[in-house]
Every structure is written in structure tokens, then in C-alpha cells.
Structure 1
Amino acid sequence: MDIDRPDVVAEVAAAFTDYEKALVANDVRALGEWFWDAESVTRFGVADRQTGAAQLHAWRAAQPPLPPGRRLYDTKVTVFGSDLATVTTMFDYPGQEDRPGRQSQTWVRFPVGWRIVHAHVSHELR
């Protein structure tokens, strides 16, 4: 199995960048499209959990925009073969640097393109 093939890393990194742009812009439609449209998709948030595309779409539509100034760092894309990847990153917001967040996603290549099949968001306890 090829690990971290540069061309696949670049594809996933580009997809993640586009997902993050949609997240910061609160583009609910685009965010929904980045997730696998299936009952098996899961997302664990700081104080929430969605199982299945319907729950995830409903939750996302009800969320307010993110605070301005979101900053990502220590982002790592790891690919396994050409169809499976993980993305992990840290994030924070201005004035909240002492309480960083963590985000991890599992991405799979489908015929329609790369989609998130599992996501997890949490905050570091300090």
C-alpha cells in the first residue's frame, strides 16, 4: 500500500481547504456536500453528535457562523492508498488561543469525489 502519495495528499489537502472555506463562510449547502450522504456518516462535536446525513444536515443548518479569525495549525494529511485519508488539525480564535480546538476527519474517495465519512471536534482541556 502506498502511504502519503504526493498526488493524493494534494487532492485531499485541496478538498480540506475547500471544506474549511465553506465552514468559515457558513455555506451550509457546500458543507453538506462535503459529507458522505449516508446513514453511516458520523460527526462528534464539542457538545453534540450526529449520526446519519439527515441529522448532520439538520444540525449544520441550525448552527450560527463561526467566530471570526479562525486559525488552523499543525494540519496533517495522511493518505492510505488512493482512496482513504485522515486529516487532523488544531484551531483557535483570536483571544481564545489558550483553549485550542482539535479536529479530525476521515475522508474516502467516492465516484462523486472526496467525502468526509467521520469527523470529530473537541477542545483541549488546560
Structure 2
Amino acid sequence: MIGTADVGDPAVTSEVLAVFERYEDALVAGDAATLDAMFWDSPDTIRFGVADRQRGFGELAAWRATQGPLPGRERRQTHVATFGADLAVVTTLFSYPGRPFEGRQSQTWVRLAEGWRIVSAHVSETPVPPDALDG
């Protein structure tokens, strides 16, 4: 059982933020190999996208191979919540210049034998007035 003392460990938070930043760099660059390596290679891996969904690593890797880079992606309000030394949830908001929507992304990261991996991810967007994207 995880106690409150195990929540929000700064060292674990720093580790997860570093792998998340690596993920985001690969996402913007369209680096499918790095992105694939950051997901758990399992039939239990799930990713819900804005207009797509993948169940299992095989579906995810096949979908990712068809995706390009995401230039201009802007993130804000990234938050890392850690629970013990091996579980974290990362949430962030994102947008693209000139597109009036707010993107929302959440990822569940688990430290496995091979390192930190995303086991579940969800991406959605909602239309918002352009002036509302400042916060």
C-alpha cells in the first residue's frame, strides 16, 4: 500500500519528467522508434487518441508508423503525480498556433525492468476561443 509519504517524491518526479520530455521531443520530431520504445510492449497497452484508438502494442506501433511530426506544438500546465517509486501519471495541456482548441493528454507511466514505460494514454481536444488558450 502506498502511503502519503510515498506520493510526490521529488527524485521520482524528476525521473518521470525527464522521460516525458524525451517523449515530447520525439513526438514533435515524429520519431516513431523512440515513441514506440517509450510504450509498454504488451497486448494490454491502451492509447485513446482524438480520432483513433489502439489496443495493444502492435496496433499502437502500426498506427504510430503512419504519423508524422507535430511542429509548433505548445504545452502548458504539465503535471507529474508520482505514487511510490514505480508509478506516475503525467498530464499536460497542448495547442498549436492558429488552431482554436485545447488539447488534453494524460499518460500512466510504470517503472518496469526495462525502465519507465507508458502503459495507458489518452488524448482529447475541445474547441475553445483563442483568447482562452492563455491559461
TM-score range, shorter chain: over 0.9
Q: Provide the C-alpha distance between the structure 1 equivalents of 2:127 and 2:68, rounded to a whole number of angstroms.
A: 24
Q: Which runs of 5+ in 1 are unaligned?
A: none
Find the counterpart in structure 2 of residue 33 from structure 1: 37
Find the counterpart in structure 1 of residue 46 from structure 2: 42
Find the counterpart in structure 2 of residue 75 from structure 1: 78
Find the counterpart in structure 2 of residue 88 from structure 1: 91
Aligned residues: 124
Larger radius of gyration: 2
Q: Which runs of 4+ in 1 moved over 2 A?
A: none
Does residue 19 of structure 2 align to residue 15 of structure 1?
Answer: yes
Identity %: 56
What is the SS of the residue equivalent to 1:100?
Answer: strand
What is the SS of the residue equivalent to 2:97?
Answer: coil
CA contact (8 A) 2:31 2:69 kept: no
* Aligned counterpart for 1:121 among listed residues 111, 120, 123: 123
- TM-score of the superposition, structure 1-length normalised? 0.95
What is the SS of the residue equivalent to 2:92?
Answer: strand
Q: Which amino acid aligns with 1:93?
A: Y
